Structure 1
Amino acid sequence: MNNKSLAEENYLPNNLANKKEFSLKSFFLQWEWLLILILFLVFIINSILSPYFLDANSLLGATSTFLDKAFIVFPMALIMIMRDIDISVGSTVALSGVVMATVYNSFGFPMEIAILVCLAVGALCGLINGLLIVKFKELSAVIVTLGTMILFRGIAYIILEDQASGNFPDWFNYFGWGTAGNIPFILIAFIIVAIVFTLLLHKTTFGRNVYAIGSNPTASRFSGVSVDKIRVIVFVLAGVMAAVTAIFLASRMGSTRPNVASGYELEVITMAALGGISTVGGKGRMLGTILAVFIIGFLQYGLGLINIPSQTLLIIIGALLILAVATPKLKLPKFLLRK
């Protein structure tokens, strides 16, 4: 038997094995269907608790209040798929926003330049995280980003102390609340970013490499995947998206200060985990993450309409995080597992 026949013999069974027959049961047991059900329940419960919840204009307007942090969830999903974590994103938001305000108010640069500087600072913060993680492999991403979380927010406090900085131009302040028709600018931006990251993860070699790193980083390295380079790029993307969050947050608030975005890392990680991103790496899809963003966002909005205390919202977010982590570990009933 020649080499070609051996290659064909080895290839065909693997190729056929990768072609799974469509199963209606498996299709409806996907995590995203549970998320759709949860989102439906959130709408039902909130509409019962408040007669103002289901107003279409109010729902569209509500996205302006929670979608700013949602930009970070996309790179966070990539980071978690790679078996890493970034708990410095909230501090990156704070530092990027503070530097942007300082460049505009203290140094007198145009707002457009200040925005570019904001994005550059976010990218730099992500680059620092990525380089530290790949250079000091004995340190976990949690330890590295815990250190940079304290570092970045500390620098923000050194720059502004405990003061706020605003006085942004009117067009910038309008950007956070403005609409095209009835659709908020931030929702349009979120849709564009969601499409870009979805295509990046699911339709490119880069995305396949991210999954491979999360499944087995050692095997990926020996297979020729630039593991360190990809990890650095993903952390830089997280920094850039944190800067985008800083821009929308500063625009919506009309100012910024060093203590903004506190707790954002908890909410972003919860969104990613609830969306089905595996906490041990290698699994997860962007669709689930997007659904989780709206579940938590509209849950917060609906409970806010009936004046539920913020502490209660934290309890609910924590419970959702536990649910997201624990549910995949539960065993399904035997009748659901039968073929």
Structure 2
Amino acid sequence: MAGNSFGTLFSITTFGESHGKAIGVIIDGCPPNIDIDEDFIQSELDKRRPGQSKITTQRKESDTAQILSGVFEGKSTGTPIAILIPNEDQRSKDYSHIADKYRPSHADFTYQQKYGIRDYRGGGRSSARETAARVAAGAVAKLFLKKHGIEIFAHVSSVGPIEAPNLDTTDLNALLERRENNIARCADPATANEMIALIDEVRKAGDTIGGQVSTIVRHVPAGLGEPVFDKLHADLGKAMLSINAVHGFEYGSGFIGSQMRGSEHNDIFIKENDNVRTRTNFSGGIQGGISNGMDITFRTAFKPVATIMRDQETLNESGEATTITGKGRHDPCVVTRAVIIVEAMTALTLADHFLRNMAYTNER
């Protein structure tokens, strides 16, 4: 199976299935002498793990990371870092009723058509369980970026029709604390309470709902990204769209920008404390595919989770009409756990482009 690797210089390859013995990741290209804080890596995994609240799947996984190689005395050695995450709470029998049925809006039919075989237990490789490996790798990327002062913050900015107001982003650490104080992972407490109530209502009705995650990245130096095919926003878009259930990505002004005039939308350059800045940031910190030193901002839209606890019409592998009902443990809204996945894929993209830019600047 192709398409299991991401990145050019700072690259990862993930492996494993939802109901296999384990999932994991190989990180290649991490520079040596980076402090590898295992407690931090575990804390990132804890934010993604299932069973953490009433509005997430009740699958119980500790997601305990085991570093197998590439780290010595707490520092990266420059060799591949292998991280293993055992699966502990598989309930494969929950999926026996769909062994020959195609779940609506899942990857069952497309996997069967492409490979001629599929692991129906939780979707196998197509399961969002795979993203735990990305979060572990993203934590390592964050530790690398931290050395260079780069900060990443994401939060749930909408669930269904409920939208959080624009936030004061002066202090990202304060926003992070507010985000982690509620199970919706929204940095606005009042909106978080509304989101929680809606998700719980949807869950009790056997349904699911979508939402959006907004991200801001601070202290990214100007110059990251390539001008043609590997534009920074294009690679960020690919990273986000590779996450399960993501259906949309926009950066800067996004689609609203298409309704504006150039005289409104252009970011005027100014000098501030001897630094070149822009008066506005409709570009989202990226111009011509290259970071300009302003905050990088983007939004990622997630569809409703495809598994619902209701009867649905479908077809089986013989093409016969049948019905299917969701069973097992599933998220009624994926965004609350997806926040940390978005941050991880952001970190992996930026770490890769940071190293690529070092080839131009000879920076060490």
When normalised by structure 1's length, the TM-score is: 0.31
Higher relative contact order (CA 8 A, sep 6+): 1
Structure with higher helix content = 1
Structure with higher strand content = 2
When normalised by structure 2's length, the TM-score is: 0.30
